Structure 1
Amino acid sequence: MTRIRLNNANNTALFVKICNEFEEDIDVKYGRYTIDAKSIMGVLSMPLDKEFTVVIHTNSKEVASRFQELIDLWLVEGDK
Structure 2
Amino acid sequence: MVTASIRLYTISDIRDFVNIASKYDFDIDLKSGRYVVDAKSIMGIFSLDLMSPIELTAHVTDEAEKAAFEADIKRFCA
Output the CA distance in 2 between the equivalents of 1:67 and 1:49.
Answer: 24
- The question of 1:31 aligning with 2:1 is answered no
* Structure 2 runs not aligned, ≥5 long: none
Equivalent residue for 2:67? Answer: 65
Output the CA distance in 2 between the equivalents of 1:8 and 1:49.
Answer: 11
Whether the 8 Å contact between 1:9 and 1:44 is mirrored in structure 2 is no
Letter of the structure 2 residue corresponding to residue 59 of structure 1? T
- The question of 1:14 aligning with 2:20 is answered no
* Structure 1 runs not aligned, ≥5 long: none
Moved over 6 A (4+): none
Whether the 8 Å contact between 1:28 and 1:52 is mirrored in structure 2 is yes
Shift of 1:49: 2.3
User: What RMSD over aligned residues (CA atoms) do the two structures have, in Å?
Assistant: 0.9
Moved more, 34-43 or 54-63: 54-63
Identity %: 33
Three-state SS of the structure 1 residue aligned to 2:68 is helix
Given the two structures, how large is their TM-score scaled by the length of structure 1? 0.88
Letter of the structure 2 residue corresponding to residue 72 of structure 1? K
Equivalent residue for 2:49? Answer: 47
Shift of 1:58: 1.3
